[in-house]
Amino acid sequence: MDHAEQTQKIAAGQGFIAALDQSGGSTPKALKAYGVADDAWSNDTEMYALIHAMRTRIITAPSFSSGKIIGAILFERTMDGQIDGQPVPSVLTAQGVVPFLKIDKGLEDEADGVQLMKPIPGLADLLARAKGLGVFGTKERSVINSANATGIAAIVKQQFAVAQEVLDAGLMPILEPETNIKSATRAECDALLTSEILAALNALPAGVKVMLKLSLPAVPGTYAPLIAHPAVLKVVALSGGYARAEACAELAKNPGIIASFSRALLDDLRVDMTDAQFDATLGTAIDEIYAGSTVKSAPVAA
């Protein structure tokens, strides 16, 4: 797939994006959920080798290339790794899966009800390397914990500033200002965030497009104006801590949004499964998330 074909595949949205980008502190949690105990490695190199083996098993499972997964978000080490002697982005592209790269380096401490992204040193070089490996786009995460207008404005400003660097490098940014689904002011967060993003989208030059990765809204249909905006290629949703069944049910209430799930996709996979068991389990998760992404319940008002 060339860039235009990748753009069209994501825009059409007939499937979902797999988030395979656990990094840093989340890697041990991902391995533990997979059935790999903390004492299975003695340093970061061994730990990342184990997570790469898990991701390799996922990407090479027959169900992964069923056509229901249209994109995959990778951790930097996974992007730089290989599967059967081929760069991981090339393996994905050969399967018809559009590769993305997680570029954020974690979160700052909370201020004004939000956690901004930490600085991203060496971003220009990272983006150039990603483009050279055939990566289509990037993803950058920050977190909203409460309906603080000042904090949410700061989150959106930072997200769009980083997105501009990504656009300048010739890649497609996924902006991910995640709303904490446990927030006591979640619906208000969603409304403030939507308003701030709309203002930023309206300020973009004509023809520029970005993607958005958002928490499933407290009120279905909240993101309808974002979905319809000409500067938005696609809106995708994170599972945000929901179990898969609930995440898929909430997703189905929101026309125009597809999944970009991590835990909800991988939770039932175990290292000691046979290949057949592993593929069947992964296939079940893929089928459920695909249905939530493509088969929507009764239309809802914006």
Active site residues: 176, 213
203 CB-near residues (< 8 Å, 6+ apart): none
Asked if residues 126 and 80 have their Cβ atoms less than 8 Å apart, the reply is no
Nearest to 162 by CA among 99, 105, 98, 219: 105
Instruction: Label residue 155 exposed, middle or buried (CB < 10 Å: 0-12, 13-18, 19+).
Output: buried
Phi then psi for residue 215, to 5 deg, are -65, 150
**Rounded-to-integer distance, Cα 216 and Cα 219, Å:** 9
Task: Look at residues 18, 71, 69, 76 and name the one whose alpha carbon lies nearest to residue 52.
Answer: 76
d(CA 92, CA 82): 11
Q: Are 138 and 159 in contact (CB under 8 A)?
A: no
- Please name the amino acid found at residue 111: A
- CA atoms of 33 and 166, how far apart (whole Å): 32
- CA 77 – CA 74 distance, rounded (Å): 8
Look at the block and give the residue holding tokens 């989340």: 26
Whether the Cβ atoms of residue 217 and residue 180 lie closer than 8 Å to each other: no
Where residue 174 falls (left for φ over 0; alpha for ψ -120 to 50; beta otherwise) is beta
